[in-house]
Every structure is written in C-alpha cells, then in structure tokens.
C-alpha cells in the first residue's frame, strides 16, 4: 500500500455534501483513492508529502461529452460559419469521409493527442463517442480504439444517415447488426435527435434497441431548435440529454422531475451561433446540470473545460461554485459514476491544482491557463 499527503491546499473544493469547500486543507491518497480529507493541522502522516503552496485544488474535470475518434479538419466550415453560414448536421459527413480513410494508428494517435491535451488542462475523466464511421466495420473500430484510451465509450451509429444510404435500411443496420457488433466495446448508446438527423420515432427505435441490448442511454437533443429530444430522453430514462440550447418550459419541467442530466455544451453553442443553453432556468427548476466540452472537429473544437466554466459564469448566470460542480460532479452524474467528480473519502484521487488561490480565478481570469498540477488515480500527470 502506498500513501501520500497533499498539504498546503489554500482552498479545497470537495463536492462532498458533508465536507463542502475547505480552507487550509489537506488530503491523503492511498492506492489511488482519497483516504482522508480535513484541516491541514490534523492531517495524518503518510509515506510521501506534496505541498501545493496555498493553491486551490478541485476534482479533475469530468468531460462527459466529446467526439474524439475522428480524422481531418473542418476549418473551412468554421470560417464559413463565422461569415454567416448556419451550422447543420450535414458537416458530419465530411468527418465521416476523413475518418473512414484514416488508419487505425492515425485514429488512435489523434485520440491520444486530444486526451493528453485535455488532461494537461485538468480533465481526468473523458467520455467519447463513435459516430464518424457509420459502417459496421468503421463503428466497431472506432469503439475499439476509444475503449483503449478513455473511461467511457458511447455508440453513436445514429449520428447521421450516411450520404447515399436509405434511412429505413440504415436504421435497421444501426439497431441490428451494427449494434450487436459494437455493444461489447461500449457502455452507452446515443442518437442525434434533430432535424436533418433522426426524428422522434427513429430515435425511439434506436434507443429502445440499445436498451434491450443492455446499454445505458444518452441523447443529443434540442441543439438547433426545440424538438422531441429532451422529452424522449426523460421518457426512456436516459442518463443524459446533451445540448439543450432550445428548451420549452415543459422540457425544463420534465428535466427537473427526472434523473436525466441536462448536459450543456457552451463552447458548441458559441461556435455554432446557437443561444447559450438556459443553465440558470434549469438549476432554478431543480434539474441536474453538467457542463462538457463537446470537443469535435465540427461544432466545438476545444478540449477546454475551463473555458466552459468561465462561459457558464460570465454568460450563463451560474456562480463559480455551480459551474465547477457542473463540470465535475455534474459530469459524473451524467455518466452515472460515483467514484469521480468529487474528493470525498473513497473517490478516485483525481486532483486538479490551480495556480491560483481559489476556483473563482477560473472565471476571474478567463482564458489564462491556470492548471498547475493534475493527478489521476493518485498518479501525477503534470
Ligand atoms: O454534438 N450534434 C451532433 N454531433 C456533434 C457534432 C458533430 C460534428 O459537427 O461533427 C455535436 O455537436
């Protein structure tokens, strides 16, 4: 058994209901797990010690929505959008072509590069999706490559009906042979329920087939306009409905009365010129909110959870505490995980140390790289 005490914590955000936020704190890590948390003055002895010099410590970010198994680049599409062209689901097909053309090694290397980029900024849990393959073989290899690199993998064969395919035939494939082939590699299934992708009935068919195969459910919903995504996610008990940029009052009420997490993706809302999701309304109504990067080459090409937190505070009406909780504990809830997203006793020792005295600096100093050190399961990554 190995142990280490982290001392000199100026401000410790635990997200633990009993411990809350502590000043002048210490934390003991044993075999990659938090074994003790409390005032620095009463910290027990351990094999090793690290003094973080009065800096703020928070749980590692839990990025519960990314699309990192891809190849290629969509700078031209982004430039067209900046010049006024709207974002549509159709851009996905560009990444599908590039992804199919890439080798396994290229896809794995690109995924590792983005996971490392995120880790260097404090992200210690990553969910990622298939969805740029859209053939049985390409979806299976995306899932296999993802499962080797990240904690949580989602099957998103229902991202788009591939150009040239017939919608009914593709739906049969996604809910039959493709699902059977991908399921052993993934924990979750997702559907892009939106105009230009899959409608309500098609989405329900996809989600029911995945649930019958034992997968947990996630939904891309209400990204480009109001629609059935949120309603469907709640109806089917999905762990999360992601985007939520366009919500009716009924959607907000449905989320508030459910265990489905509203996962908000502010970097995507900004990049695609959608309204920022109504985070304040959701929290006030009692819904559980997560913040995630949605890192992908089309709609949101950033791995910065700090950017999402700063945006949530500066433009979406959340307090720093709420935004940090949404990007850590909220993400964990969206993934139905209780071992990450907090620093209570028994949590995985995922620590994000800021070169700042408090988490408030994430919004007070937006855009400034504040990550000073990162531990994942007690192992120092930077
Ligand atoms: O979450 N909305 C669907 N899927 C991704 C976008 C993928 C893309 O444009 O390549 C998203 O925004």
Q: Which atom of ligand 1 is nearest to the CA of 297?
A: 10
Name the residue of 87, 88, 92 to mutate for ligand 1: max ligand atoms within 8 A of Cβ. Answer: 92
In which band, very low, low, confident or very high, does the pLDDT at 122 lie, cut at 50, 70 and 90? very high
Residue 30, exposed/middle/buried by CB under 10 A (0-12, 13-18, 19+)?
middle
What are the residues facing 289 on neighbouring strands? 262
371 lines ligand 1 (CB under 6 A): no
Q: Which atom of ligand 1 is nearest to the CA of 242?
A: 1
| Cα 24 from Cα 44, distance rounded (Å) | 15
Residue 249, exposed/middle/buried by CB under 10 A (0-12, 13-18, 19+)?
exposed
ipTM value, please give it. Answer: 0.97
Q: Pick from 227, 233, 298: which is nearest to 260 by CA? A: 233
Q: What is the pLDDT of residue 197?
A: 96
Model pLDDT for residues 235-282, shown as the tens digit of each residue: 999 999 999 999 999 999 999 999 999 999 999 999 999 999 999 999
The CA 99 to ligand 1 mean position distance, Å, reads 14
Q: Are 157 and 171 in contact (CB under 8 A)?
A: no
What SS3 state is found at 378?
A: coil
The CA 92 to ligand 1 mean position distance, Å, reads 7
Which residues, 6 or more positions from 46, have their beta carbon under 8 angstroms from its beta carbon?
3, 4, 5, 28, 29, 30
| Cα 210 from Cα 258, distance rounded (Å) | 20
Region 3-29 average pLDDT: 97
Q: Give exposure, 328-361, as e/b (b: 16+ Cβ within 10 Å).
A: bbbbbbbbebeebbbbebebbbbbbbbbbebbbb
Model pLDDT for residues 197-241, shown as the tens digit of each residue: 999 999 999 999 999 999 999 999 999 999 999 999 999 999 999
> Is 15 marked as a binding-site residue?
no
Q: What is the pLDDT of residue 90?
A: 87
Q: Are 147 and 126 in contact (CB under 8 A)?
A: no
Rounded to the nearest 10 degrees, the angle between the axes of helix 167-175 and helix 200-212 is: 20
> Is 304 marked as a binding-site residue?
no
Q: Are 289 and 283 in contact (CB under 8 A)?
A: yes
Q: Which atom of ligand 1 is nearest to the CA of 223?
A: 2
67 lines ligand 1 (CB under 6 A): yes
352 lines ligand 1 (CB under 6 A): no
Q: Are 199 and 227 in contact (CB under 8 A)?
A: no
| Cα 28 from Cα 349, distance rounded (Å) | 9
Q: Which atom of ligand 1 is nearest to the CA of 294?
A: 1
Q: What does pTM read for this prediction?
A: 0.98
The CA 129 to ligand 1 mean position distance, Å, reads 11
Residue 1 reports pLDDT greater than 90: no
Model pLDDT for residues 161-202, shown as the tens digit of each residue: 999 999 999 999 999 999 999 999 999 999 999 999 999 999
Model pLDDT for residues 71-120, shown as the tens digit of each residue: 999 999 999 999 999 999 889 999 999 999 999 999 999 999 999 999 99
> Is 220 marked as a binding-site residue?
yes
Q: What is the pLDDT of residue 176?
A: 98
228 lines ligand 1 (CB under 6 A): no
> Is 170 marked as a binding-site residue?
no
* Protein residue closest via CA to atom 11 of ligand 1: 299
Q: Are 129 and 153 in contact (CB under 8 A)?
A: yes
Among the residues of the chain, which ranges form H helices? Answer: 75-82, 92-101, 104-119, 136-147, 167-175, 177-182, 200-212, 229-235, 249-256, 266-271, 279-285, 305-315, 320-325, 331-334, 361-364
| Cα 167 from Cα 292, distance rounded (Å) | 30
Q: Pick from 248, 247, 258, 260: which is nearest to 207 by CA? A: 260
Name the residue of 64, 67, 87 to mutate for ligand 1: max ligand atoms within 8 A of Cβ. Answer: 67
Model pLDDT for residues 322-348, shown as the tens digit of each residue: 999 999 999 999 999 999 999 999 999
With the CA atoms of 40, 41, 44 and 50 taken in that order, what torsion angle do they form, in degrees rounded to the nearest 10?
40
| Cα 285 from Cα 131, distance rounded (Å) | 33
Q: Which atom of ligand 1 is nearest to the CA of 220?
A: 2
**Cα R_g (the chain), whole angstroms:** 20
What domains, with CATH codes, occur in the chain?
3-60+342-380 (2.30.40.10), 61-334 (3.20.20.140)
Tokens at residue 258, please?
């459910």
């Amino acid at each position: 058994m190995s142990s280490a005490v982290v001392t000199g914590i100026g401000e410790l955000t635990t997200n633990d209901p009993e411990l809350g936020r502590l000043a002048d704190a210490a934390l003991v890590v044993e075999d990659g797990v938090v074994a003790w948390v409390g005032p620095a003055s009463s910290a027990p002895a351990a094999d090793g010690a690290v003094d973080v010099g009065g800096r703020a410590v928070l749980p590692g970010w839990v990025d519960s929505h990314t699309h990192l198994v891809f190849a290629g680049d969509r700078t031209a599409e982004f430039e067209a959008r900046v010049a006024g062209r709207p974002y549509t689901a159709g851009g996905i097909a560009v990444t599908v072509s590039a992804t199919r053309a890439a080798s396994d090694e290229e896809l794995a290397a690109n995924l590792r590069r983005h996971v490392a980029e995120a880790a260097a900024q404090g992200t210690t849990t990553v969910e990622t999706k298939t969805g740029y393959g859209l053939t049985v073989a390409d979806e299976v290899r995306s899932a296999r490559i993802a499962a080797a690199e990240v904690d949580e993998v989602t099957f998103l064969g229902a991202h788009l009906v591939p150009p040239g395919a017939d919608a009914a035939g593709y739906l049969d494939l996604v809910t039959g042979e493709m699902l059977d082939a991908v399921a052993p590699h993934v924990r979750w299934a997702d559907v892009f329920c939106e105009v230009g992708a899959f409608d309500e009935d098609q989405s329900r068919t996809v989600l029911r087939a995945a649930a019958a195969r034992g997968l947990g459910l996630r939904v891309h919903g209400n990204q480009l306009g109001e629609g059935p995504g949120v309603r469907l996610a709640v109806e089917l008990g999905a762990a999360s409905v992601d985007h939520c940029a366009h919500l009716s009052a009924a959607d907000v009420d449905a989320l508030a009365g459910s265990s489905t997490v509203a996962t908000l993706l502010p970097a995507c809302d900004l990049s695609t010129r959608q309204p920022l999701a109504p985070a304040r309304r959701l929290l006030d109504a009692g819904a559980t909110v997560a913040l995630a990067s949605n890192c992908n080459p089309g709609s949101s090409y950033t791995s910065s959870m700090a950017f999402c937190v700063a945006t949530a505070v500066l433009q979406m009406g959340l307090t720093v505490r709420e935004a940090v909780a949404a990007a850590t504990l909220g993400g964990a809830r969206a993934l139905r995980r209780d071992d990450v997203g907090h620093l209570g006793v028994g949590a995985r020792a995922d620590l994000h140390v800021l070169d700042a005295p408090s988490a408030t600096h994430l919004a007070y100093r937006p855009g400034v790289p504040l990550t000073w050190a990162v531990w994942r399961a007690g192992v120092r990554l930077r």
